[in-house]
Amino acid sequence: MAEDIRILPVRGIGDVHPGDDLASIILEALAQHGIALEGGDILVVTQKIVSKAEGRLIDPQTVEPSHMARMAALHGRKDAAYYEVVLRESRRIVKMDRGVLITETHHGLICANAGVDESNVAGGQFVTLLPLDPDVSAAQLRAAIRDRAGVGVAVIISDTFGRPWREGQVNIAIGAAGIAPLASYIGQADAYGYTMHASVLAIADEVASAAELVMGKVDQVPAAIVRGYVFEPSDAGAKALIRAPERDLFR
């Protein structure tokens, strides 16, 4: 257990464009505000700036809507072209009701509209798609920061997801590098001697959610440093957080 955890917003990043060097942009923003990375820091960055830097942008009006997309548009708040983008980013539709599509993405993530997002995109014409492989994106950003700053940090790529049976949204980890995404207490005894059999904490999700407290949705703070949390290094990636179909009681 960490005795003291700090969460530092990374301000001054500004808008990110396709092809931008995200590591350099983040390091420059940190330097401008007198913040130096330390070994053991966890850098949390939003999916949005990663997707922008990787060119994961599309104008929905450039795609031809399918019959399914047109049917979705009849009951939804978006046009058929938007729903076509969602369908192309989806492996399967989990639920479709009241104009909302809950889908499984090609990564295996279950989320609204396959993570296709219109917010915080300049111009109002394009939407962002999730990175092709968020774990690879996290690993590349981690390596670039290590090369440029000479400091070993963990990296989490976060996105905002809704939750079944709960109001509100929280940030979760869709990509991770250098940090074990899960912490298992199975086999350990609690304070009363009971041996735990099912306690596995989603550490990467908890860190991503905590970072959101200083990032916000309208403050243009797309990155944060979580400092002081002692984590287990790992290359497992956030894909380890996706429950296997054979263990999923809701399929």
Tell me, what CATH number does 99's domain have?
A: 3.90.1660.10
Mean pLDDT of 11-24: 96
DSSP state of 250: T
Query: What's the pTM?
Result: 0.94
The whole-angstrom separation of Cα 165 and Cα 162 is 9
What tens digit of pLDDT does each residue of 204-216 get? 999 999 999 999 7
Distance from C-alpha of 195 to C-alpha of 181, rounded to nearest angstrom: 22
**pLDDT band (50, 70, 90) for residue 1:** low
Q: How many domains, the chain?
A: 2
Beta strands 42-46 and 154-163, pairing class:
parallel
Q: Name the nearest CA neighbour of 89 among 105, 107, 66, 71.
A: 105
Range of the domain at 86: 58-127
- Residue 251 located in a structural domain: no
| 40 DSSP assignment | T
Instruction: Give yes or no for residue 182 having a pLDDT over 80.
Output: yes
What average pLDDT score do residues 226-246 get?
96
| Whether the Cβ atoms of residue 159 and residue 147 lie closer than 8 Å to each other | no
Instruction: Read off the DSSP letter of residue 113.
Output: G
Does the pLDDT of residue 225 top 80, yes or no? yes
In a domain, 199, yes or no: yes
The answer to whether position 165 is within a domain reads yes
